[in-house]
Amino acid sequence: MATKLYVGNLPYSANDQSLAEFFSEAGEVTQANVVTDKFSGRSRGFGFVEYANDAEGDQAVKDLNGKDMDGRKLVVNEARPQQPRG
């Protein structure tokens, strides 16, 4: 089963590719995306990474939470399910 992780405190220079490369040290990244402002296109400083299985996701949380990426300490934890808007 896939594991989706929340990644906070990203450097504003991060993009989908750099996020996937950084997180690939913990396992095979199936998807990575940096959330951007829909008007300016700039990074909002957080994103999501998805791994193919739970073991790799758990390893990423252990290894990469608090790790430095371009001068910023990352906050990594399991993503909460998206709440319906309304």
Q: What is the pLDDT of residues 10-19, one digit of tens each?
A: 999 999 999 9
Count of domains observed in the chain: 1
In a domain, 21, yes or no: yes
Does any domain span residue 75? no
What is residue 7's three-state secondary structure?
strand
pLDDT tens track for 23-70:
999 999 999 999 999 999 999 999 999 999 999 999 999 999 999 999
Return the CATH number at 18: 3.30.70.330
Q: Name the residue with tokens 């299985």.
A: 53
Cα distance between residue 41 and residue 28, in whole Å: 27
Q: pLDDT value at position 84?
A: 80
In a domain, 52, yes or no: yes
* Cβ atoms within 10 Å, residue 54: 12
pLDDT band at 2 (very low <50, low <70, confident <90, very high): confident
Q: Please tell me the predicted confidence (pLDDT) of residue 43.
A: 94
Q: Is residue 66, in this structure, part of any structural domain at all? A: yes
CA distance 36 to 22: 18
Above 80 in pLDDT, residue 4?
A: yes
